[in-house]
Amino acid sequence: MNDELFTKGWVPKLLLIVIFLLMSCRLSLQAKSISDFQQLEANIVNKSLAQLSAGDMDPITKLRALCLSRGATGINGLGRIFRNMDDDGSKALNEYEFTKGIKECGLDVSNEEIKEMFRSFDEDGSGSINMTEFLLKLRPPMSQARLAMIDKAFSKMDKTGDGVITLEDLKNVYTAREHPKFKSGEKTEDEILTDFLHNFEGGRGNLDGKVTKEEFINYYATISASIDNDEYFEFMMKKAYALE
């Protein structure tokens, strides 16, 4: 009789307690990972500002530092401005377009510095630069191990496999029903998930709720720049995206 009471009474309760504790732990880890990434982003902003203050940088390094001083979306913001100028789909920028994009992004550089930057990227002297190659050079370098982990996280979120993360993709992977702003009624689940997508976009009027793989990599390349150890970067990504 006592065994029957134990089976029917305490075991279900105990299981519920364990499940609750596991869920609470997972939510705590996710919140901690967000906080960690915010701290890492602040570190790279401060480091970039210090580099700019010290001066004595080549044009590519200076442009990278200017973008990183804007935070994790600095490079993506510049990239989106350039793509909006690409009316013919050639993925090439001439000096006029390059200058216009730099100024529209609000980066604090002189016209002479912009000319010097353009010449540095226009290695063959053709008078134009390829946008994809430009962004690859601008992005902080990463090891293959880090790129593989970023690719794994992107693949998890890109549920449809079309190379773009959208709101519908996120809905198939995550739920925002435990988010404080959803519980309080301040925001809908769609609004919270859309805000999450905006973290990876360039801002400054370029928010469309779609994140390409290139933008995702650029975002984490910035975060990566403030992490010296590959193992720690892998740990952070696994914790943030619940990766195996």
10-residue averages of pLDDT along the chain (244 residues): 45 36 38 58 81 81 82 76 73 86 81 88 85 80 92 92 90 80 87 83 65 87 81 86 82
Are 133 and 147 contained in the same domain? no
d(CA 50, CA 46): 6
Last residue of a domain, one of 138, 164, 194: 138
CATH number of the CATH domain containing 83: 1.10.238.10
Single out the residue in 96, 116, 138 at which a domain terminates: 138
Residue 1 in domain: no
The pLDDT score that the predictor gives to residue 131 is 80
One domain, residues 191 and 228 = yes
Q: Measured between alpha carbons, how far is residue 154 from residues 46, 149, 159, 194 in Å?
A: 27, 9, 9, 16
* Domain of residue 208, residue span: 143-241
Asked whether residue 18 is assigned to any structural domain, the reply reads no
Question: Where among 103, 121, 138 does a domain terminate?
Answer: 138
Would you say residue 94 lies in a domain? Answer: yes
| Same domain as 158, residue 130 | no
Q: Which two tokens stand for residue 163?
A: 């190379």
Each residue's pLDDT tens digit, 62-78: 888 888 887 767 777 77
Helices (H), 87-241: 95-104, 111-121, 131-138, 144-157, 167-171, 180-183, 189-198, 213-224, 230-241
Integer Cα distance of 155 and 126 in angstroms: 37
Query: Does 220 fall in a domain?
Result: yes
Q: What is the pLDDT of residue 12?
A: 38
Asked if 37 contacts 223 with a C-beta cutoff of 8 angstroms, the reply is yes
My answer on whether 123 and 199 are in the same domain is no
Same domain, 41 and 134: yes
How far is Cα 57 from Cα 202, in angstroms, rounded to an integer? 25
Give a yes or no: residue 28 inside a domain.
no
pLDDT at 227: 81
Judge if 228 and 153 occupy the same domain: yes
My answer on whether 77 and 163 are in the same domain is no
Both 171 and 117 in a single domain? no
For residues 122 and 150, membership in a common domain is answered with no
At 35 the pLDDT is 56
- pTM of the predicted model as reported, rounded to 2 decimal places: 0.60
What's residue 36's pLDDT? 62
**147/223 same-domain check:** yes
Closest CA to 196 of 207, 185, 206: 207
Cα torsion at 154, 159, 164, 167 (round to 10°)? -110
Q: Do 39 and 134 have their domain in common?
A: yes
Q: Please count the structural domains in the chain.
A: 2
In the chain, what percentage of residues exceed pLDDT 90?
Answer: 8
Q: Does 103 lie in the same domain as 53?
A: yes
Supply the pLDDT for residue 144: 93
